[in-house]
Amino acid sequence: MNKSRIAHSLVAVVLGSVLVSSSAFANNIFSGNTQSSQETAKKIDKPLNNSEVKVTSPVQNAGNTSNDTTITTAVKGKLQLQKDININDISVKTEKGIVYIAGFVKSQPQKTKIVALVKSVKGVKSVQYALVVVKK
């Protein structure tokens, strides 16, 4: 193998690692998992005050999950149809109608286009995004 092929392979490995770690980072940011283990342990140790506990029925939760899954599928489908967007570089998650997208894009106009496409999907209440422009 020549040196340029090795260099390209290394760049591919590094970019792949960055994509995986940024996706995990984005999931942590969007899901609020930024607490330390000590903070989490303190919350677990506190006794529950029954007057503060809100009970939701499984049917309500199932409806939200089903609608969120439908929205996520529609968003991914719309993005997949765009020839200039690499869906593998973007993660999509929906919770209660709020769509969270994170990943890498080629340009600022592409970033704007993606956000507009996501907003146009039926059922989307709002869009939270962490899209990073990466020049390739």
Q: What is the rounded distance in angstroms from the CA atom of residue 49 to the CA atom of residue 106?
A: 50
The enclosing domain of 111 has a CATH number of: 3.30.1340.30
Q: Where are the alpha helices (DSSP H) in the chain?
A: 3-31, 37-45, 58-80, 108-119
Residue 67 lies in a domain: yes
What's the CA gap between 45 and 136, in Å, rounded?
49
Within-domain flag for 98: yes
Residues 38-95: pLDDT tens digits?
Answer: 454 444 444 444 444 454 545 455 556 679 999 999 999 999 999 999 999 999 999 9
With respect to residue 31, please indicate whether it lies within any of the assigned structural domains: no
pTM of the model: 0.54
Name the domain count of the chain: 1
Q: Please return the burial class of 114, using the count of CB atoms within 10 Å of its CB with bins 0-12, 13-18 and 19+.
A: buried
Domain interval for residue 81: 63-133
